[in-house]
Chain A
Amino acid sequence: MAIRVNLITGRTIQQGVSMEAGKEKPAYTAACGIIELDPADFKKLGAFRNTTVRVTSQYGSVVVKAVEATQGPHPGVAYIPMGPWANRVINPNTYSTGMPTFKGTPVTVEVAKNEPVLDSLELVRKGCRGELA
């Protein structure tokens, strides 16, 4: 079962702390390789908390861990902390302003139990080499 949600990104304090502690470390993946979903959307998705999911937009796709919204409720809105995971799927169009559209990208979320969440360096490296879906 796949659900459609509106994706936004931004800073969380965990993202900031783990970023300063080293983006190659597992704590950064734990802080940013996630998608925060509302309990209502979890129900629609038919998945348990902490399941890995594939998030897909018309611009790209990424595997992250689905967790319950920490600053909710916000049904219909999903949140991936700013970072390379979010940036695989956000809308890169600037519409002549210079600013990519980091907030408000329609995405599909589906369960992807057996797919791993890559760390930031591996994600970027494999992506650049064209080794990712």
Chain B
Amino acid sequence: MTKTVTDVVCPFCGTLCDDLEVVVSDDGKKLFEVYNACAIGAEKFLHSQAADRLTRPRMRQDDGSWKEISYDEAIEYTARMLADAKKPLMYGWSSTNCEAQAVGSEIGEMVGAVMDNTATVCHGTSLIAVQDIGIPSCTLGEVKNRADRILFWGCNPAHAHPRHMSRYSIFPRGFFTGKGHTGRKMIVVDPRPTDTARIADVHLQIEQGRDYELLDAFRVAFKGEKLPDVVAGIPKEKIYEAADMLKSGRFAIIFFGMGVTQSLGKNHNIDAAIAVTRDLNEYTKAAIMPMRGHYNVTGSGQVWGWLFGFPYAVDLSRGFARYNPGETTSNDLLRRGEVDAVFVLGSDPGAHFPFSSVKEIYNLPSVAVEPHETPTTEVCKVHVPVAFVGVEVGGCAYRMDNVPIETRKVVEPPEGMLTDEEFLDRVLARVKEIKGV
């Protein structure tokens, strides 16, 4: 027989859908089906059941082959590597729960590590902009119940946050948005006519990399001032039309993604986007929100925020927290050869860092704590498979709007497998022994 677990939280993207239903065996050891999830979320749950899943740590041999080792050996290697390093990089922290992030931070403090999370290649530049000029934001509940003007700038939720539009931003009927999508106006700014842009009322097909100019043009258009005939490849009439559409709403929300954070201009693009939001508040209520990618990257920013005062790129190597993006960020450290060991948990820099950084990881002592086999495990010296957070172990995660949600355990991990938190707890205990504290 089977049983159905309801109200399961999806550990894939920052939308953190909390209405999944998962069918598991009576003894809770097998997972059979997933309902309500998007294609990516469902695959994440189902992949935990893969027959070829690795269940024991392994170490790279000199001839390039893998040798299975025990958890004790993996803990010893990790603790020694971190304790012996002068400046280790401890990167990732996004596909895990806040409890594990807290233990990891304690290790980082003890060994003088640089702690960085996936915001460094995602919304790190947004965080810099927020520190520059602040952010008028809101929760996704407010968006669902109030927002009638939705602007997606440089993001493609149809692919990256597949249920965002149906749960919060475009289609749901809320308290003041009883007509659902027919009562909302949707604008998309993207250099491609994406699947999100196809359902928009207005699509501005911007010239790639000219976001700052178009954002500034919006500020001009709000005030009714004169624009050049074409800005960033968009005729001025379309800019005025989109600006009027935003101003005429009761509640406007701007969602922005990698199109602005990763293009040239970086944090300055976000500065401009936040300034647009502030200006829009002269005419109506407006808010802005980053489309956070990993399901708990926001949580690692929160945890470090209350522990160290900074959301990412925290350098603890001098015994106190320093933060200087461009210097203490992972890719800059790796490319400049400024770290001497790499510890990765809950992320895949092997696949998502520029190749020059990946090569540097390959040349250093390195540990990857990761349920899957990935390009990161391919370049690391030790690979420690762990339980899937959000599937085989619960814990706290923060949604993209900074709302904490407790994820649920739905199925047992393979026998004898540690969770992130258990592994880190044991590494911490061993580091304390080595350091004699």
Contact = CB atoms under 8 A, between A and B. Distances in A.
| A and B are interacting partners | yes
Interface of A: 6, 8, 10-13, 16-17, 19-24, 59-60, 69, 71-74, 77, 79, 82-84, 87-88, 90-92, 94-104, 120-121, 123-125, 127-128
A125 B125 contact: no
Given A13-B159, A124-B379, 4 more contacts: A59-B354, A91-B354, A99-B262, A128-B359
A104 B124 contact: no
Given A11-B156, A23-B373, A98-B332, A73 B263 contact: no
Contacts of B354: 59, 87, 90-92, 100
Interface stretch (B248-256, B323-331, B339-347): B323-331
Contact of A87 (B124, B351, B372): B351
A88 to B, nearest CB: 5
Interface string B104-134: 0000000000000000110011001000000
B300 interface: no
A88 B350 CA distance: 11
Contact of A103 (B50, B263, B373): B263
B210 to A, nearest CB: 10
B121 A77 contact: no
Interface stretch (B138-146, B192-200, B220-228, B413-421): B192-200
Nearest 9 A/B pairs, CB to CB: A98-B329, A96-B326, A92-B354, A16-B40, A128-B362, A98-B325, A20-B43, A102-B262, A11-B160
Interface of B: 12, 38-40, 43-44, 47, 50, 120-121, 124-125, 128, 156, 158-160, 162, 191-195, 197, 205, 208-209, 258-259, 261-264, 266-267, 293, 313, 325-327, 329-332, 335, 348, 350-359, 362-363, 372-375, 378-379
B350 A94 contact: no
Nearest to B357: A92
A72 B156 contact: no
B352 A103 contact: no
Contacts of B261: 99
A124 B160 contact: no
B193 A71 contact: yes
Contact of A23 (B262, B266, B375): B375
B207 to A, nearest CB: 9
A47 B112 CA distance: 54
Contacts of B358: 84, 87, 124, 127-128
Nearest to B334: A92
Nearest to B260: A103
Contacts of A98: 120, 124-125, 128, 313, 325-326, 329-332
B190 to A, nearest CB: 9
A133 to B, nearest CB: 13
Contacts of B373: 22-24, 121
Contacts of A102: 121, 258, 262
Given A94-B331, A103-B258, A77 B208 contact: yes
Nearest to B198: A71
A22 to B, nearest CB: 6
Contacts of A77: 191-192, 208
Nearest to B205: A74
A12 B192 CA distance: 13
A17 B44 CA distance: 8
A111 B263 CA distance: 27
B352 A128 contact: no
Contacts of B158: 13
Nearest to B313: A98
Contacts of A88: 355
Contacts of A13: 38-40, 158-159, 162
Most buried by A among B193, B335, B359, B374: B374
